[in-house]
Amino acid sequence: MKHVSVAGKLVTLLFTAAFLVACSSSSTKEEEDAAAAAAAAAAAARAAQEAQAAASGAAYSAEQARLEETAAAYGNVFYFGYDSSNLTPEAIDALNAHIAYLKTNEKNLRLEGHTDERGTREYNLALGERRANSVRDYMVVNGVASYRIESISYGEERPIGYGSGESNWAQNRRVELVLIN
Amino acid sequence: MKWLTAAPVNLALPLVMALVMGMAPAAVRADLTIEITQGMDNPTSIAVVPFAWAGPGAAPVDMASVIDGDLARSGQFAPVARADMLGLPSTEAEVFYRDWRASETEYLLIGRASQDGALRIDYEVFDVVRQTKVLSGYEAGPAGEARMLAHRVADQVYEKLTGIRGAFATRLLYVSVARVTNGKDYYRLTLADSDGARPTVLLESREPLLAPTWSPDGNQIAYVSFETGRPAIFRQDLATGKRDQLTNFQGLNSSPAWSPDGKSMAMVLSKDGSPDVYVMNLANKQLTRITNHYAIETEPVWMPDGKSLLFTSDRGGKPQIYSYEMASGNIQRVTYEGSYNARARIAQDGRNMVLVHQQDGNFHIALLDLVTNRLQILTSTALDESPSIAPNGSMVLYATKSGDRGILAAVSVDGGVKFRLPASEGDVREPAWSPYLGR
């Protein structure tokens, strides 16, 4: 996610540079060299852009960047209540931001469901999946194609907080959104 | 990720769990403990005299100590300390009953171990009060199996004196986890003797390993590994180390449970939506769907007669145990007491069911008598899970927490005897007690 965004900015930058150089009217050898270099840079930028467009299915845009930043500000972890897979109001706000961004691209994503340590491990594997699917279903209903989403449950196997008590449990009851490309 | 066949254990592993009792070298013993926290009120006093040795060098293992540890762990016996023994007989002719009556010893076990190629233990048990020999026999096997031979002697003595078949010559599977700060933990599927001795790492992975289980003949194991990036059920032969991946479905692939005839495996798959119980024919890998419900259906286990399955379902809103009759397809709710009953395991008698039961917010191991429907809570710690019953139905091994670390603990089915098996480092969890093992 991060490196794609940087690549996008780079493409923009190269384009701007190439455009400015190409527009300046000049006839000196030095300037011709510069123009040739700029043309080469522009070609490289086009190639990079095409590659990126092919990969992500959407060109970079300022609006996309804004949506990406908004989603990032919400974070990619959504929290749940005990033995619950219901989305909290906070999770819905965060998900809405992610969905808005995901609609601007074709990225695939992985939803990793987790639980706290209470209850049995196998039940928690199922509960983690239920949480991941709860997030998936909300995304699909709101316009993210289901084929882009993979759900996986780790149950209680991957805690953030190892200790017992609600402060640890609360941070372990979660779904993490991971962008794959 | 690497996986290993049964090689001699590396005792230097800091993770290595608990050997018992006295005889290991001091450097090893530091890592390994069994703590008996509660025994019976009037345990039987038995003196296990150090065995005589006839073979090259010193005896490979203090076999009497292994037997002593087994009997002590059962909670039903109070072994006499060696320092309190007035003599160390190894033959019947050397037994003087008055010496043992003086120390209020009720039974006396003596033996002679020899090695001439194979290893052999000859032993006798005497009733000190009646002044009679009540048991004599021998166990023989490969030289490297001294501990297992000693466990078999303990099995014979236990059965003679309690009337219950011994289950010391069995093994344990469990998952140990070494935490890595800011990184992926190490998961190690580990095999050990029933006393925690000789731990051997069968499989090591940076991705989760869980739900280890035994085939009914004790020759194979199955477990869930995330090594492919997703959960999948694997089967592994213990003698050859050969293994195969049984499932690779979208979603959950978990809770493997062999049928009593060894031909099928119950499991949980969510490929059709929500987690449901399926049975796989292991000969052709064909699946039969058992449950079909939008609720969570998981943790299947077979009744010993193979005619029905128990499983956990939250179809009623909270997790409870249900049964599924194979012939009719009838599903019946089994547990009613409390708001969380899960992960049933059933004793070979088909009557004693152990499960995870929530009370006042805490998770305990409980025993449900399927005849009287009486539920008895066996443990008093807060986060108890993964109960596994010994093949003779006497003890329940389970996982719990001590501080923020996972440890194994055991309790007798009557709740009267308790011991803990803490590891020196890391977490241990998901114990699976083997069936009786062939020789």
- State which of B162, B189, B205 marks the end of a domain: B162
Listing DSSP states for B338-385 in one string gives SS-EEEEEE-TTSSEEEEEEEETTEEEEEEEETTT--EEE---SSB-E
Is the CB of B386 less than 8 angstroms away from the CB of A154? no
- State which of B116, B141, B162 marks the end of a domain: B162
Domains of chain A, by residue range, sit at 2-56, 62-179
Q: Which residues contact B334 (CB under 8 A, 6 or more apart)?
A: B310, B320, B321, B322, B323, B344, B353, B368, B370
Chain A residue at shortest CA distance from B275: A126
- pLDDT of res. A12: 45
pLDDT average, residue stretch B12-22: 32
Least confident of B16-20, B50-54, B56-60, B197-201: B16-20
Q: Does some domain include residue B395? A: yes
> The CATH number of the domain where B249 resides is what?
2.120.10.30
Q: Do residue B361 and residue B233 come from a single domain?
A: yes
CB B172 within 8 Å of CB B432: yes
Is the CB of B343 less than 8 angstroms away from the CB of A123? yes
In angstroms, what separates the C-alpha of B360 from chain A's closest C-alpha? 13
Q: How far apart are CA B354 and CA B346, in angstroms?
A: 6
**Is B103 a residue whose pLDDT tops 70?**
yes
Q: Do residue B149 and residue B220 come from a single domain?
A: no
Q: Does some domain include residue B77? A: yes
- State which of B118, B145, B162 marks the end of a domain: B162
Structure tokens at B231: 């959960």
Q: Does B270 touch chain A (CB under 8 A)?
A: yes
pTM of the full predicted structure? 0.84
Q: Do residue B217 and residue B349 come from a single domain?
A: yes
Q: Supply the ipTM of this predicted assembly.
A: 0.87
The DSSP output letter for A11 is H
pLDDT average, residue stretch A138-147: 97
Q: Do residue B290 and residue B315 come from a single domain?
A: yes
Structure tokens at B246: 């049984």
Which pLDDT band, with edges at 50, 70 and 90, does B31 fall under?
A: very low
Q: Which residues contact B329 (CB under 8 A, 6 or more apart)?
A: none
Q: What count of other Cβ atoms lies within 10 Å of the Cβ of residue B55?
A: 15
Q: Do residue B114 and residue B249 come from a single domain?
A: no
Q: Do residue B175 and residue B143 come from a single domain?
A: no
Q: Do residue B156 and residue B182 come from a single domain?
A: no
Least confident of B167-171, B318-322, B379-383: B379-383
Q: Does some domain include residue B9? A: no
Is the CB of B342 less than 8 angstroms away from the CB of A120? yes
Q: Does some domain include residue B400? A: yes
The DSSP output letter for A87 is P
B 385-424 → A contacts, CB under 8 A: 385-386, 401, 404
Structure tokens at A15: 């384009």
Q: What count of other Cβ atoms lies within 10 Å of the Cβ of residue B349?
A: 12
Q: Does some domain include residue B6? A: no
> The CATH number of the domain where B61 resides is what?
3.40.50.10070
Q: Do residue B238 and residue B279 come from a single domain?
A: yes
Q: How far apart are CA B121 and CA B111, in angstroms?
A: 7
Is the CB of B210 less than 8 angstroms away from the CB of A126? no
Q: Which residues contact B129 (CB under 8 A, 6 or more apart)?
A: B101, B106
Q: For the domain with range A62-179, which CATH number is right: 3.30.1330.60, 3.10.129.10, 1.10.3130.10, 3.40.50.2000?
A: 3.30.1330.60
Q: How far apart are the first and last CA of chain A?
A: 7
Q: Do residue B209 and residue B115 come from a single domain?
A: no
Q: Do residue B217 and residue B314 come from a single domain?
A: yes
Q: Does some domain include residue B147? A: yes
B213: three-class secondary structure by DSSP: strand
Q: Do residue B257 and residue B293 come from a single domain?
A: yes
CA distance to B16, B127, B236, B258, B270, per residue, from B278 (Å) = 35, 53, 20, 12, 10
Higher pLDDT pick, A55 / A119:
A119
Q: Does some domain include residue B21? A: no
Is the CB of B312 less than 8 angstroms away from the CB of A123? yes
pLDDT average, residue stretch B408-432: 89
What pLDDT digit, counting tens, does each position of A96-136 carry?
A: 999 999 999 999 999 999 999 999 999 999 999 999 999 99
The DSSP output letter for B199 is -
Closest by CA to B326, choosing from B288, B299, B296, B272, is B288
Higher pLDDT pick, B18 / A9:
A9
The total domain count for chain B is 2
**Is A35 a residue whose pLDDT tops 80?**
no
- pLDDT of res. B20: 30
Closest by CA to B151, choosing from B210, B69, B214, is B69
- pLDDT of res. B297: 97
Degrees, nearest 5: CA angle B67-B71-B73:
115
Query: Closest to B319 (Cβ–Cβ): which among A121, A123, A152?
Result: A123
Q: How far apart are CA A119 and CA B316, in angstroms?
A: 17
Q: Does some domain include residue B329? A: yes
Higher pLDDT pick, B218 / A64:
B218
B203: three-class secondary structure by DSSP: strand
Q: Do residue B222 and residue B127 come from a single domain?
A: no
CB B268 within 8 Å of CB B247: no
What's the domain range around B365?
Answer: 171-433
Which pLDDT band, with edges at 50, 70 and 90, does B40 fall under?
A: confident
In angstroms, what separates the C-alpha of A70 from chain B's closest C-alpha? 26
